[in-house]
Chains A and B, each alone.
Chain A
Amino acid sequence: MYRVEDLGELELDTLREVGNIGVGNAATSLSQMLGRVIEMSVPEVLVTKINELHGIVKTDEIVAGTVVGLSTIENEQAGFLYIVFPSNSAQKMAELLLGDCSDEELVDSAIMEVGNIISSSFCDAIANMLDTILVPTPPNYAKDYFVAVIDVILSQIAEKSDYIIVFKTELKDEEDAIEALVMLFPTEKFFNYIFELLGMVE
């Protein structure tokens, strides 16, 4: 059983590759939905202490965030996906999708749906690659400080470990009008499960 702090280069590379495939598929979905070319940044896998999270993300930025929980087929918690849109980007996306943005509730539910679709495509791609099934929960949505949206999740992870592993990629359209951040917080269950499926552990 690997713990977050034991992960070496090989394990992190493996996670990066798995996440890469997930995000690639998510970018395609987003691009189809918006009718725009979406580019993705080179994915990063970071291991960080929870109390140092403010060093890698803008914790006080106001974002529109969708959080989806992932479970394995045995109903074990595998991790969380956090799809983050900076508020101006969320607004722009709603304009593209809805045209009229006067109804705030409608805007919120549109953005949540985009987050949901991105998460599902991410999930599907990973599950496909690993030849398994990952079950996403329905989406949870909030507009708030970057860190306020996910502190419940960090608390969950903090019950077991002071470290989190963060998979992070940016999605952007050509005009930089749309920006999204895809983050995966896998639990120890999740990466051990992946390593097992890939034959990396006995």
Chain B
Amino acid sequence: MMHEYLVGIGEFRVAKGSAVLKTIGLGSCLGLALYDPIEKIGGLAHVMLPKSHNGTIRSAKYADHAVEMMLEAMERMGSKRRNVVAKIAGGAQIFKHMTMDFLKIGERNVEVVKSLLKEYNIRVISEDVGGTLGRSVYFFVNNGKMRVKYSNGVELWI
């Protein structure tokens, strides 16, 4: 039996081998998975905000901190940075009727995370981003597959 670990809003978790990392109800937030296929070490972060400001306390709620913190944790478990690849899901725009501008944050989250991963030379090997539906994400650390479950019940593997 594979153990499931819940990643809360703005948190991250890493695991090795047979484990499932899951995060529930991503709207504008982003599920960012990093994976080392050689060592079978993976991490999943539930990213809320694109970038930290100078002087903010380190937290996985910011995309830039999430990448750093997950890489460090994975390295401590024996992963090599050059082997790490990424998968991302989320960044939707949930509201049809929208009156507050900041509600469009989803798109920006996706852009920032992509350019950030480029800076780190981490390749995004698959993604399912944007759209108007919420997603729950299950990341299987034993094989690096990600199950994306939409709020309308549709599921897909990336």
Contact = CB atoms under 8 A, between A and B. Distances in A.
Contacts of A146: 25
B151 A145 contact: yes
Assign chain B's interface to a size class: 20 to 34
Contacts of B29: 151, 155
Contacts of A59: 24-25
For the complex of A and B, list the 3 residue pairs with the smallest distance between their C-beta atoms, beginning with the closest.
Answer: A148-B134, A148-B27, A145-B25
Given A51-B11, A158-B61, A152 B25 contact: no
A141 B157 CA distance: 29
A154 B48 contact: yes
Contacts of B28: 151-152, 155
Contact of B100 (A69, A112, A148): A69
Interface of B: 6, 8-11, 24-29, 48-49, 59, 61, 92, 94-100, 102-103, 105-106, 133-136, 151
B63 to A, nearest CB: 11
Looking at B6, B10, B106, which has the most chain A CB atoms within 10 Å of its CB?
Answer: B10
A143 B132 CA distance: 10
A120 B133 CA distance: 27
A151 to B, nearest CB: 4
A148 B95 contact: no
A156 B9 CA distance: 13
B105 A142 contact: no
Contacts of B59: 162
A141 B97 contact: yes
Contacts of A145: 24-25, 27, 134, 136, 151
A138 B99 contact: yes
B56 to A, nearest CB: 9
Contacts of B10: 50-51, 158, 162
A9 interface: no
B8 A51 contact: yes
A54 B49 CA distance: 19
Contacts of A51: 8-11
Nearest to B46: A51
A112 B97 contact: yes
B24 A155 contact: no
Contacts of B11: 51
Contacts of A158: 10, 48-49, 61
Contacts of A117: none
Nearest to A140: B95
A147 B151 CA distance: 11
Contacts of B151: 62, 143-145, 148
